[in-house]
Amino acid sequence: MRFLLILAVIANLALLAYGQGFFGPPPAEQGRTPRPLSQRNQQMLTLGAPIPPAATP
């Protein structure tokens, strides 16, 4: 019984790794042309002065 549990955990981890793309392009990205890393979510990055931490009483 312990062997089956360990086997199920290993199978789940392997499927998770495959779906996340650890063994190559993830299945969800098949057939798409990948964007260069420098072009991903550039609009989300905003540069500015850091916000000082709030003083605690």
Whole-angstrom CA distances from 22 to 15, 17, 25, 55 are 10, 5, 8, 44
User: So what's the pLDDT on residue 13?
Assistant: 96
For residue 52, what is the DSSP state? Answer: P
User: So what's the pLDDT on residue 34?
Assistant: 65
User: So what's the pLDDT on residue 41?
Assistant: 66
User: So what's the pLDDT on residue 46?
Assistant: 74
User: So what's the pLDDT on residue 42?
Assistant: 67
State pLDDT tens for residues 1-57: 999 999 999 999 999 988 888 887 777 777 777 666 666 666 776 778 888 888 776
Say how many residues make up the chain. 57
